[in-house]
Structure 1
């Protein structure tokens, strides 16, 4: 049983952003590369790594200059290894997609699924294929699908629920969508879902929103168009069982009300709690961090704020409850992007996670030891895999 002192120490880990330096791997020169500043990229996380895919930066020098064949886009996959705090550009085989801005990405086992997105100019070369990268074997493949595919779009949101991939919204660059599509990952058949609501009862067309789910409903959070952002005092929810949209009134924070309307924000989910961070409301870049419960629909503002207000950034959460935020636009007037990486615990770290982080800080050379020796020291196979 956890003592009160241990519980207090665990709670101290919460709601504090920590900037990560992305130091070079042990034994390598200090000139080791980290991902250049970018926006419009996506990231996913497992217990061991953060994977960052794609992105955009119109600044020629910041985006790698002549070394970046895909300027102003980034046709690359990066991996941030938690145990060593190091970045590696992943060299992959197969065909990596060329729609590299405002695509959607989810991690399904060892498979990174990427859908949609746009090339340059925005809206002129959109995608509607599902590309899969097996992060273990570092190989891309195209998922051969049948049925009614979504239009070629970007800025949509997607999630995997019970073996189905759901895709909602997005834009062609000219037309904003309220379409909802479902891909059966077993049969690989797309279906364009036709909810039972009258047309005036559908969510507003949008892009750069985020979605969450509880297994029965898909919740649409924020988003907008190039000229407006949608409020969060109500959220639309698609009921998977009744094939219909519902409108849910959310409950404001008792002192400061609702989060500001926003688009281009980030969103992660831990069980029935959903966290949104940053974004843009049409006037200012936001830095706030909010939580909504999918059981009570109560909004809570967390005390932490992003060290760099950002939008078009990406965020992902580990199974243990630690959120990582990377990149984004940080200055509208100068159109400036960042390559910063931050972490914050959104759930109370377990004693295992606390001990693991302490061990890694005390013994930074641990990853250099062979697996056999690590096992002899008492590390479990799961922890050894995290190191390697």
Structure 2
């Protein structure tokens, strides 16, 4: 039985990797190559699993679906050059709740945390929950904060609280977090009481070696702030806005990651042309400009019909008028929302407008500045949550505040494909669905079965 399963795995892996490899070597025949190899992939499935049911791919997830007729396999071309049998539908931009597997722990409900993602894992750092029981009770020495780093593995659908060495920062709410290679870069944030113990250091955690270190920097560091936004652009770390807890900022700082020197950028603008002071905003960039999206203060939230952009070449702020969705207009003003970016498309979801918690999802194109409201509303409106997107284009949303009056937080994790998954990703998810015990095999066994080193790393 085990031998038969291994042979089936080899067939799946062989078809998937053959399609990926051939389309890379013969880009001019990519569509034709994917068509026939993907048809081969599903033919192999039918031959080796004649008693199984078809599965319907919903946003990249496998869900059982009855299909009796298996003859005359038909293949259709979908946007992005992805070939798929007609019987199995691809429906990106649909939410899917990731349920906790029996016997596995997960991060408690929280808000004010941050997350990033690579091909294999989602990393969740910090957070806050004033509910004593939900925060871990007497076992949580940092109550009501979470001084912890969690990793969610996409292939195995399991959470793991990472044990790390070195000094983990204590500013655990509304810090900023980015992923740079294998390193998590954490800046700023606040402890308890909010605004009384802010940070302005850059802490680095290598997720491979599970070790924290303080980045030694030169120059004048930004003020001790939280709620700022941060991004890495052309080898430099840019930090904008934030609050001390009393004063809101429009400061823009740059840290050269090679020289490790901080400088404060002084734009060539009149003060009236600067963006308003704010915190809990988000930023996007296209390599030439940094775009400020939303945010606000404790008494206001800024609109998204006009956005400010910092021009890296001219050292000036510009105001850009965006284009409304043809039917529903502009997204509501908001703060404490999330934002992820895929190339020139920016996706904004959730947040708080000062009156209600939002659950909508919007896309802004940085070339046309056109807003499009996606039909896939969030499963539950939320703010002070975190979101990250994988290199393949799948967005994960975790935690946040879901009820203002009850001050209720959630620990839910949702995913949604923002693009049509590639052939490799579809094949990989199919493989994991049919062989859930794949992660129990050793590296040597996985490599012997034909998996690439990259796919093995996703499992391990």
Q: Of 13, 16, 33, which residue of structure 1 is paired with 2:94?
A: 16
Q: Of 46, 51, 76, which residue of structure 1 is paired with 2:148?
A: 76
Counterpart-to-counterpart distance in 2, 1:99 and 1:22 = 28
* Residue 249 of structure 1: how far off its partner (Å): 0.3
Contact 1:43/1:51 (<8 A) preserved = yes
- 1:380 and 2:458 are equivalent in the alignment: no
Counterpart-to-counterpart distance in 2, 1:242 and 1:143 = 29
- 1:44 and 2:122 are equivalent in the alignment: no
- 1:184 and 2:242 are equivalent in the alignment: no
Deviation digits for residues 58-78 of structure 1 (CA, Å, limit 9, x no counterpart):
000011101100000000000
- 1:195 and 2:260 are equivalent in the alignment: no
- Give unmatched runs, 5+ long, in structure 1: 25-29
Give the number of aligned pairs.
Answer: 382
> TM (normalized to structure 2)?
0.82
SS in 1 for 2:433: helix
- 1:285 and 2:363 are equivalent in the alignment: no
Name 2:76's counterpart in structure 1.
5
SS in 2 for 1:267: strand
- 1:125 and 2:197 are equivalent in the alignment: yes
> TM (normalized to structure 1)?
0.97
Name 1:301's counterpart in structure 2.
373
Distance 1:240-1:250 versus aligned 2 partners, 3 A rule: same
* Residue 13 of structure 1: how far off its partner (Å): 3.1
Q: Whose helix proportion is higher, 1 or 2?
A: 2
Matches within 5 A, 1:145-156: 145-156=217-228
- 1:213 and 2:285 are equivalent in the alignment: yes
Runs of 4+ in 1 over 3 A off after TM superposition: 8-11
* Residue 159 of structure 1: how far off its partner (Å): 0.2
Q: Of 184, 188, 191, which residue of structure 2 is paired with 1:112?
A: 184
Deviation digits for residues 60-115 of structure 1 (CA, Å, limit 9, x no counterpart):
00111011000000000000000000000000000000000000000000000000
Counterpart-to-counterpart distance in 2, 1:12 and 1:237 = 36
* Residue 12 of structure 1: how far off its partner (Å): 2.6
Q: Whose strand proportion is higher, 1 or 2?
A: 1
SS in 1 for 2:360: strand
Counterpart-to-counterpart distance in 2, 1:106 and 1:93 = 20
* Residue 11 of structure 1: how far off its partner (Å): 7.2
- 1:93 and 2:193 are equivalent in the alignment: no
Contact 1:111/1:132 (<8 A) preserved = yes
Q: Of 369, 389, 406, which residue of structure 2 is paired with 1:317?
A: 389
Counterpart-to-counterpart distance in 2, 1:23 and 1:81 = 12
Contact 1:11/1:348 (<8 A) preserved = no
- Give unmatched runs, 5+ long, in structure 2: 1-30, 36-74
Superposition CA RMSD, Å: 1.1
SS in 1 for 2:350: strand
Contact 1:54/1:75 (<8 A) preserved = yes
Contact 2:93/2:419 (<8 A) preserved = no
